[in-house]
Structure 1
Amino acid sequence: MGDEGKASSAPKEAAKGRFSVETVSSLTQTLAIVGAGAWAVYTFIYEARIKPSLAPPAVSVTTNLVKAGERGDRVAIRSTVTRTNVGQTGVRILGLTYNVVGIKARFEEGGGRAGAFADTLPKASMVEQARGYTLSEAGDVILRQGLLFAGATDLPSAPSDLNPGEAVSRDLIVYADRSQFDSIRFKVSLAYGKSTDEAVPLRFETGPGAEIAMAPEADCRAEPEICRRLKTTDFATEFSLW
């Protein structure tokens, strides 16, 4: 009878062992599937929400200048300025300025100054040398425009937000006298911040050569955290009047 008892208990032990292995295997597979799904959800949320929210704002500016017409020595130039959100987060444009400066070229007799391109260069952060002519340093401001958008001013103003990849263009006609200038320099400055951040109030001020510029209302030395939210992009291009 003892042997029969042992024989009947053997299948039960084997079945219990198989049950235990199958249970652990099934549980392991289930946990692996749940973990993979959770990781996929986290990756999606990170890529779609978390990563863009941590990215800094980035805006590029391009300007296209073409002759729109002429009357005598006066030339009409059409400027198309395009601002594009090239970052991964939404951008709030706070303000922009346009400064159009007339440039004069002064030509020298004899084809150039002696030593215009000397072998020894000066110790400086920038070198600009030309043989036979010089350009006016500051130039004369022909036109200046400034615009503060909603958030940068308490006065009535429209908002200007850009989603990632979104672009906005603005046309402007400039008139220049080629009897007075040889070329014009078109300068664009943008001030912006992340659309999720609190806007930084701005004001206009006069820069070098009577150009218009933007500056924070806050004192950046006393309140540096406010000024750190403000980003700027500057762009300049030239157009010959010849």
Structure 2
Amino acid sequence: MNNSEKRSLGEEFKNWVQTLAIILAGLWGAYVFIYQEFWIPKSAPTSLTLDVSLRKAGKTNYDNKHSQAAIELSIIAKNTTKYPIGLLPGIFMIHGIEFTVAGSDEDTFDKKLESELVIPYSGKYRNRHFMEKSRTEVSIGSPFSDTVLKPGETIKRVFLTTIPADKYDALKASIIIPRCREGTSLESCEEKKERFEWDYNKEKYFPELFFLNGEERKLIEKDHYESYRIRMAISEVMLSLWE
């Protein structure tokens, strides 16, 4: 084999190596693109933060007889991830609460400290000197009209309602924003939102989410979130009306 043939084979081998390197680089680039643009968004956890506040916003007299207190509810939702979040229909509710003096038998409170300090995961608490007397629905509505929250996007709504100035001792606002779980496409989330609806449990003073499947209407308990591929952002705040 002469030198020219050796050079020809060497150049051909070099060209094959370069071609293979280009192909491998292209495959690697495609892998990185698919991984970052498709796989990571599907597997990355979605995170929705809620910032909720209640505040007094003044008083007014409509007919010089019935004084009304204005109440402002502010709801801020933020997508803290790099990926869009599909929002499902949410709900907010404000209750007016009246308190009464607790019974004079303080031994009952002390006995509970020894026998049943707290009820685990109930979210309930006891007071020595007062207890809840009644709870009344004051306002209810849909927090947002948005169906998608873009990466880093923040949305805010402010609601105004009025109550009789001296009727309640406190107000409690409950806000629930369901969202599609990670791995759910926005198209699939858009189709899913039509199959959820809210109802109100009067005994629990709390809204409940139902899933519609044809004529079947099924209550979604907390243990069912995974099977329906949803997550919940929930916030509850209270405002004292005592002067």
Calculate the TM-score normalised by the size of structure 2. 0.68
Taking a change above 3 Å as real, the CA distance of residues 220 and 23 of structure 1, as seen in their structure-2 partners, is: farther
Taking a change above 3 Å as real, the CA distance of residues 180 and 112 of structure 1, as seen in their structure-2 partners, is: farther
1:32 partner SS:
helix
- Alignment-derived partner of residue 80 in structure 1: 74
Does 2:132 correspond to 1:132?
Answer: no
1:117-159: CA deviation from partner (whole Å, max 9, x where unpaired): 7355457423754453344287221122248x9xxxxxxxx76
Taking a change above 3 Å as real, the CA distance of residues 109 and 192 of structure 1, as seen in their structure-2 partners, is: closer
- Alignment-derived partner of residue 162 in structure 2: 175
CA distance in 1, matches of 2:46, 2:217: 20
CA distance in 2, matches of 1:160, 1:201: 14
1:48 to 34, 37, 49: 37
2:120 partner SS:
coil
CA distance in 1, matches of 2:87, 2:23: 43
- Contact persistence 1:116–1:129 (CA under 8 A): no
- Contact persistence 1:102–1:140 (CA under 8 A): yes
- Alignment-derived partner of residue 21 in structure 2: 32
- Alignment-derived partner of residue 228 in structure 2: 228
Q: How many equivalent pairs are there?
A: 219
Does 2:196 correspond to 1:202?
Answer: yes
Taking a change above 3 Å as real, the CA distance of residues 58 and 240 of structure 1, as seen in their structure-2 partners, is: same
Q: How big is the shift at 1:211?
A: 4.8
1:93 to 87, 90, 93: 87
- Contact persistence 1:102–1:184 (CA under 8 A): yes
Q: How big is the shift at 1:92?
A: 3.8
Work out the percentage of aligned pairs sharing the same amino acid.
18
Q: How big is the shift at 1:67?
A: 2.2
Over the aligned positions, Cα root-mean-square deviation in angstroms equals 3.9
- Contact persistence 1:116–1:130 (CA under 8 A): no
CA distance in 2, matches of 1:121, 1:18: 90
Residue ranges of structure 1 left out of the alignment (5+ in a row): 1-8, 150-157
Calculate the TM-score normalised by the size of structure 1. 0.68
Q: How big is the shift at 1:80?
A: 1.5
Larger CA deviation: 20-29 vs 183-192: 20-29
**Structure exhibiting the larger radius of gyration computed from Cα positions:** 1
Taking a change above 3 Å as real, the CA distance of residues 133 and 177 of structure 1, as seen in their structure-2 partners, is: farther
- Alignment-derived partner of residue 64 in structure 2: none
1:52 partner SS:
helix
